[in-house]
Structure 1
């Protein structure tokens, strides 16, 4: 089975799938099978990270899938402990060696680590790695507007994407507005929040019942219509199949507003990009 996934245009002229598959905590032989299943179902954007310790899993699944490399959009991320310029370049190379890939379609700085204050140096390394052909598109993750302003001011290069925590309980309206103003695509990690809480939400359940869809499908469709790229993670084939089957319907303006108006409780994870340090 495969699903047709629309593409979005990045500010560097390249295109990316409108939904991806997250791989945090997916490892080993079981992880390879999960990623292969996702690829078989039609996912083409696969999101990984150096600190997930599963770039090898992603690479092996890609090889076993038999799908042409140019049909895939593989992402990884630079960890905070390697923000120094030379270390960043070596880490990007190591990421490729781990995965057995010649290039990444997208590489992100995982967190800004503002106390260490080397994220501009790391960004320059990504710019240069792109020039060397190691990366096709470059972006960031968990960067606040103040961090993005500095990258743009000091290098003149605007990230193609910023991957942030985004879900109906934390809709990040101001951050998304900044992205739109600067031509940065928003990518949503934890797009379903903590699933149990979403499943219990009365507004979401009402919309899902009226549409004959699952709550997860309604929420992921909300992301897509916001212009964000959700990257749900699931090792269940049933859920993988359900999560990608969101392009045959469209939410109304009223339904979009109902979801966006769900009271924001803030981030679900205690990782404030203004102070959080990831290593």
Structure 2
């Protein structure tokens, strides 16, 4: 399960001081010493009970972020959630800092937008490690699961062995380490409005790693997450009909190191095929391309076309 971290330092630090320290020492979740160092600085930031309110006031009033550190992207951050405020954008040190605002079931924002907008009730893992600290309010609750990432090929509908670990709550001043490609969380609304501070590991390689939404009732992959701009660009290029784009997509489909990119390439080629027979030939070739993910999807597509 997500690992509880003890970081008892009672002193506080400004956002600028935290960013300076992490820019020098970085955040590498593979090293225990680096995790402990990052956790200590996140704790010190959390001990400053005023900074986040100042940042939000600056955001609402249209002023620059308090302290002049990083870019404040505002509400509407990554992962489809609309409750994330970026406090320190990725840069030196392979980290970012954000604040997640969790509305309760009684909040107008949740009633108006629905739970999916805030990621409530969705079972998902992550393609990056992160530390999360309870900062304000009683804290959201989490249903926790584990799975074995190397055992999953990564296609929608794939059976997955999920290990249920129980429910926990991110209480004030409590910190957890959520591990990439291992921990699965289902977030539920807190009893009242709550805020958590999150320090995430940022690396260019993370974007090439699949992560998933899971169907807990069926024990299957519900959806593959993590599609990047390169995949969108390839689909557009092939759709526009250029021979060079088709050639590139074919090479990507056969040889790209990312199964996800290979599947995108075959989907782009199938989408550009003229007629059902031509599309079936594309998926037949894809099924023999040497990727389990592609083969499983291609077989299903051929059945649909039969």
Query: Is the TM-score greater than 0.5?
Result: no
* Greater strand content: 2
* Greater helix content: 1
TM score, norm. by length of structure 1: 0.28
Per chain length, whose mean CA-contact separation is higher, i.e. which structure has more relative contact order (CA < 8 Å, sep 6+)?
1
TM score, norm. by length of structure 2: 0.26
Q: Which has the larger radius of gyration?
A: 2
